[in-house]
Structure 1
Amino acid sequence: MQSYNFLEQNNQRIALMGMSGVGKTTLSNLLPRNEWFHYSIDYRIGTRYLHEEITDLVKIEAMKSPALAKLLRNNSIFIAPNVTFDNLSAISMFIGMVGALDKGGLPLDEFLARLQAHRTAEIKSMEDTKTFINRATNVYGYPNFICDFSGSVCELDAPDVIQSVADECLLVYLKATDSMMSTLIERAQKYPKPLYYQADFLHNAIKNYCEEQSLSSWAEINPDHFAVWVFPHLVEHRIVRYDAIAAKHGITLSAEDTLNITSAEEFLNLIHTTLQKKEGK
């Protein structure tokens, strides 16, 4: 982690880290876009490194319609995912969920392949951070830079990649309090969505789930029910990893302390104060 007087820096660079729903995007949006270049790892994944794969999946669905299939074959229509900073549904669609095919699930091997493709895309997107810092400064003239990590950054097991970003940016971890965590889990269980899992974690989770539900294999899993069941276990798995990254490379902010922040000045002052405390000043 870099040691400096944060508020006196002419070129402030931040990388926000934390679970989905803790407020990373909300805080990022407080930083004025005429002064801050906003770089989203998830957006980069969806628009660069998984763009073709996502597009192909959408086209496969469209080809099931004879009318659309005819238009696609003669290039009469154009289909592409609309990935934005605030809408990452297309990436979730690509990842999918493991489970019974007749319930919308994916075969285990295919699901693992998609997870690996996402991991590769996420690593490449993080490696692009320095390039975008240089573009922000030299091409667009932005004095400051904010990077919004994907929620699965703690799962990558790619310390060199995280180090490379930490060499350029201050890593700021938004840590959910116990009460917030309960809300996040409740929300995720009410509205389950595809998520990234490490292979070892996934295999163990499937084994435990099948034993608990008296199922013989992944092929009998209800994917939506599994997503609800596994989320608290995933949270427990990730917290330790987030804490370790923050302790080595950056600072930790209580996500609850950021809930009432309404301006960039308040946000940056909180970062500065936390840095001073960590450095014993």
Structure 2
Amino acid sequence: MIYDFGEAFRRAPHKAITLLGMSGVGKTMLADRLPKAEWFHYSADYRIGTKYLEEDILDNIKRKAMQVPFLRKLLLSDSIYICSNITVDNLDPISTYLGKIGRPDSVGAEEGGLSYEEFRHRQDLHEQAEIASMIDVARFKAKALEIYGYPNFINDASGSICEIVDPKAGTDDPVLDILSRDTLLLYIRAGEADYKRVEAAAMRNPKPLFYRDDFLQAAIPEYRSEAGLPPSPVSHVDDIDPDDFVKWIFPKLWRHRIPRYQAIADRLGYVIEADEAASVRDGHDFTDLVAGAIDRRQKAGA
């Protein structure tokens, strides 16, 4: 007799799931459709912005405000204070802090382009914050049940999680070990139509992104060549248009991440398609969808 893992998931009184997938593929939308009284929604990006990068984000805003004489006077006299209003659905303060690499006088980027050194510094801080937010998952899962009484837990992981782990390491990677031990890993796989939709949005409004340093260092010379810019050390980015670079690199980053996510799912998780996720209406639909993904993997391995 083959044990029915899908049915066991349906009957489990406490479910804990980590949603994996590209930014824009529908992780937060899916989490928002689950009953609020039954599912604790843990957002990695929200945790990053309100805990681990909060001070850096506010310092960056204050630094800009101090350049405006009117605001500078009010800040120095404690007449006003600055705070960020980060929510699960509004992560703009994090994106603004991450920034874009390129010309400092660019009007397209929120604060002009950043130098390679400053950009890399912020990327490194974000990576450390994202790792910390994932290590926090086990603690928040316990708090959600023990303190707040939520029977189920969903971890809405950042779109860049595949960059901060070693997908081929499996449970030898400390972050993947924690997540796979305390939650079921569910990869929302994007199809070509999903890619085109997300790419179109990225072209209309190119947002800051996270890159592994090896990926970025390989991409910059390629961009310079295709953009007709003269050869230069990777650290020289003062002649790069920030928005143009983000538009150029986005398709490459997307394709780069696909096999990394698939490797995680192949070793430790389960897969649903983005259109399946989009069809979920409530908690029952979601439970059936996850159980179906478990059954598919079990049959494929039988």
Give the TM bin, normalised by the shorter chain.
Answer: over 0.9
Please tell me the root mean square deviation across aligned C-alpha atoms, in Å. Answer: 1.4
The match for 2:51 among 43, 48, 53 is 48
Instruction: State the one-letter code of the partner of 2:159.
Output: G
Query: Counterpart in 2 of 1:238?
Result: 257
SS in 1 for 2:186: strand
What is the alpha-carbon distance in structure 1 between the residues aligned to residue 6 and residue 71 of structure 2? 57
1:37 match: 40
Alpha-carbon deviation of 1:185? 1.5
- Residues 1:197 and 2:216 aligned together: no
Does the 8 Å CA contact 1:210/1:218 hold for their aligned counterparts? no
- Partner of 2:187, secondary structure, is strand
Partner of residue 133 from structure 1, selected from 133, 141, 144: 141
Q: Does 1:277 align with 2:296?
A: yes
Contact 2:6 2:292 in 1 (8 A): no
Deviations 1:77-105 (A, max 9, x none): 12011110000000001110000111110
Q: Which residue of 2 aligns with 1:81?
A: 84
User: Could you say which residue in structure 2 is the equivalent of 1:6?
Assistant: 9
CA distance in 2 between partners of 1:51 and 1:3 (Å):
40
User: Contact between 2:202 and 2:250, CA under 8 Å: does it hold in 1?
Assistant: yes
**Aligned equivalents of 1:154, 1:172: Cα separation in 2:** 13
The aligned counterpart of 1:207 is 221
**Residue ranges of structure 2 left out of the alignment (5+ in a row):** 107-111, 167-172, 231-235
TM-score (norm 2): 0.90
Give the alignment partner of residue 18 of structure 1, picking from 1, 16, 21. 21
C-alpha distance in 2 between matches for 1:82 and 1:230:
29
Alignment of 1:253 onto 2:272 = yes
Q: How does 1:183-194 map to 2 (within 5 A)?
A: 183-194=197-208
Q: Which amino acid aligns with 1:229?
A: W
Distance in structure 2 (CA, Å) of the matches to 1:35 and 1:182: 34
Separation in 1 of the partners of 2:71 and 2:226?
43
Q: Give SS of 2:105's match.
A: helix
More moved, 4-13 vs 233-242: 4-13
Task: Please state whether the residue corresponding to 1:171 is helix, strand or coil.
Answer: strand
- 2:115 aligned with 1:107: yes
Scaled by the length of structure 1, the TM-score of the pair is: 0.96
CA apart distance, 1:244: 0.5
Q: d(CA) in 2 for partners of 1:190 and 1:178?
A: 18
Q: CA deviation at 1:249?
A: 1.4
Shift of 1:4: 7.4
* 43, 51, 68: which one aligns with 1:65: 68
Other-structure match for 1:153: 161
CA deviation string 1:153-207 (max 9, x = no partner):
0000352112211100011111111122122222212211000000011111111
Report the identity percentage. 43
Q: Please list, as runs of the form range in 1=range in 2, the aligned pairs for 1:261-272 lying within 5 A after superposition.
A: 261-272=280-291
For residue 113 of structure 1, report the CA deviation from its aligned partner.
0.6
Runs of 4 or more consecutive aligned structure 1 residues displaced over 4 Å after TM superposition: none
Name the CA distance, whole Å, in 1 between partners of 2:265 and 2:49: 26
Q: Partners in 2 of 1:25 and 1:179 — Cα distance?
A: 19
Give me the whole-angstrom Cα distance separating, in 1, the residues matched to 2:81 and 2:43.
25
- Quick check: 2:123–2:211 contact (8 Å CA) kept in 1? yes
Which residue pairs with 2:170 in the alignment?
A: none
Shift in CA distance, 150/61, structure 1 to aligned 2, threshold 3 Å: same
Distance 2:105 2:246 in 1: 16
Q: Deviations over 1:108-140 (max 9, x none)?
A: 011011000000000000000011011111111
Q: What is the CA-CA distance between 1:258 and the residue it aligns to? A: 2.3
| Structure 1 residue 260, shift from structure 2 partner | 2.3
- Cα distance in structure 2, aligned partners of 1:169 and 1:264: 17
| Other structure's SS at 1:279 match | helix
2:119 partner SS: helix
Q: For the Cα contact (< 8 Å) 2:165–2:176, is it kept in 1?
A: no
Give the Cα separation in 1 of the matches to 2:277 and 2:157.
Answer: 17
Note the C-alpha offset of 1:3: 8.4
Contact 1:163 1:249 in 2 (8 A): no
